[in-house]
Amino acid sequence: MKALDDYFYDDAIERALERKRVNLITDYDLTTRPALIWQGRPAEPLGLDVSQEELKNTLGEGAEGKSTDNWWQGFYSGRRVAVVFDGLACSTSLAQYDAGWITQLHEDGQLLAGLWTFPQVQARNSDAPTLVLAEFHQSAFHDFVRLAEKIYRVAGHRGAVFVTCTMLQAHTLPMANNNGRTQVSPVKRQTLRWPVLTVGDTLSFAKAGEMMAARLMRAYGLTPTNA
């Protein structure tokens, strides 16, 4: 019976994550666009007061020790955090779609980050530009878990947190090295879904970010190049 109970529990977690992910995809018109979506979900709903200035400031500040890459800027906004249906949203542009990335913190404690702008380089054997992932996108995984760790610390949550990632339109994104000269063909799958990891007593946020970044590289037959 325990195995069956575990199955239904895992399935319930997956469905809860999917509902939030689908809402984000709808809100930012990502249905047909390549995108990376990270998610953090406490094992139990938190019931956050999203009007608290400390939570707003923490979301807007982005990741601790964040990367300085301009594509997502360590999830640092520099703008006033906006209120949305589920809680709070943060980006570098007041226009909903312009920034190319978003973070959201919901009343139930779920944290989401989406990234849908990517570098363009000349495609192999073609003069046409193509969107690519780059090796530096590994840093976004680390930035997300750093932000999550900070958010849940400020929220006073000490329990388990589920973290995962989804890549939309994965089959359209080759992987390029950081100078764009070497490219690896896209994966065959339209959507890549990372396993749900449980951050808690035996797994740190930092290790979870490392594991997720490594899986991104493995999808392209590559090994991780940063930590």
The residue ranking higher by pLDDT, 167 or 130, is 167
The helix/strand/coil state of 128 is: coil
What's the burial of 22, exposed, middle or buried (CB within 10 Å: 0-12/13-18/19+)?
exposed
pLDDT at 226: 61
pLDDT at 70: 72
Is a pLDDT exceeding 70 seen at residue 1? no
Is a pLDDT exceeding 60 seen at residue 4? no
Is a pLDDT exceeding 60 seen at residue 7? no
Asked, for residue 66, whether it belongs to a domain, the answer is yes
Strands 175-176 and 133-134: parallel
Asked, for residue 49, whether it belongs to a domain, the answer is yes
pLDDT digits (tens, 9 = 90+) for 155-171: 999 999 999 999 999 99
pLDDT digits (tens, 9 = 90+) for 25-83: 999 999 999 999 999 999 999 999 999 999 999 999 999 766 666 788 899 987 789 99
Is a pLDDT exceeding 80 seen at residue 223? yes
Tally the domains of the chain.
1
Is a pLDDT exceeding 60 seen at residue 96? no
What lies within 8 Å, CB to CB, of 183 at 6+ separation is 121, 123, 124, 132, 174, 175, 176
Give the integer Cα–Cα distance in Å for 214 and 224: 5
Q: Which domain holds residue 196?
A: 2-219
pLDDT at 71: 83
Instruction: Please give the backbone phi and psi of residue 143, each rounded to the nearest 5 degrees, phi first.
Output: -65, -40
Asked, for residue 227, whether it belongs to a domain, the answer is no
Identify the H or E element spanning 27.
helix 2-27
Q: What is the mean pLDDT of residues 2-19?
A: 74
Asked, for residue 225, whether it belongs to a domain, the answer is no
pLDDT digits (tens, 9 = 90+) for 173-201: 999 876 667 788 899 999 999 999 999 99
Asked, for residue 35, whether it belongs to a domain, the answer is yes
Asked, for residue 224, whether it belongs to a domain, the answer is no
198: β partners: 162
pLDDT at 6: 57
Asked, for residue 159, whether it belongs to a domain, the answer is yes
Asked, for residue 142, whether it belongs to a domain, the answer is yes
pLDDT at 98: 65
Q: Band of the pLDDT at 214, cuts 50, 70, 90?
A: very high
Which residue is it, tokens 């590289």?
217
Give the integer Cα–Cα distance in Å for 204 and 30: 30
Average pLDDT, the chain: 88
pLDDT at 79: 79
pLDDT digits (tens, 9 = 90+) for 113-129: 999 999 888 766 666 78
pLDDT at 11: 81
pLDDT at 124: 66
